[in-house]
Copies of this chain bind each other. A is one copy, B any other.
């Protein structure tokens, strides 16, 4: 689950309900009443109540006396909440959500790279380099290469020195895992080492503009791939 120290009833119910809501399980019908939650999940009122309150805090639900609890429209969800992005990923794959994820990355990561070029210290750069090396050394081991890829991108977010960017690490994590599952299907395609290396070199050189462009190139390619994988209907 997600708690730092094992699972609890409340956090378990939070996960279950969060996933269900995000998957649209309550779209037509109304959300269960407090009493119904208790019987359906054989939980106490406290547990049901606190799970609902946490989902409310994440913008997924709202409750008022007599009217009951209802699922909020997507426009009110805290989409950038780490839990919410995870639930979004865990539901059946959708091209649309992946494109939207990648558009966010296309906005954030190039700017993060350019800031990193100005601000990164020795340790930050080493972390980025470790990610790149991990991608190189494990090119054949998919899971490890993916892990290194994630480390590379997250290290740049951290090197930007802006905690808001660092905040998006969970989304990057999510998006990259989806990305890999697609690019593998497309053409045995793997993350381009040279493109990633270009980002690192620009950051080391303090070349903000170059780092931004190099990162843009990586993400534009990602965005193109999704188009070729399965044309959007929308």
Contact = CB atoms under 8 A, between A and B. Distances in A.
Interface stretch (A36-44, A159-167, A187-195): A159-167
A52 to B, nearest CB: 9
Contact of A100 (B46, B112, B162): B162
Nearest to A85: B164
Given A78-B82, A81-B81, A163 B49 contact: no
The oligomer's copy count stands at 2
Main secondary structure on A side of the interface with B: helix
Interface stretch (A102-110, A131-139, A147-155, A178-186): A102-110
A92 interface: no
A53 to B, nearest CB: 5
Interface stretch (A24-32, A55-63, A120-128, A196-204): A55-63
A166 B64 contact: no
Contacts of A106: 111
Interface string A195-233: 000000000000000000000000000000000000000
Interface of A: 4-5, 10, 14, 46, 49-50, 53-59, 62, 64, 74-75, 77-83, 100-101, 103-104, 106-108, 110-112, 115, 160, 162-168
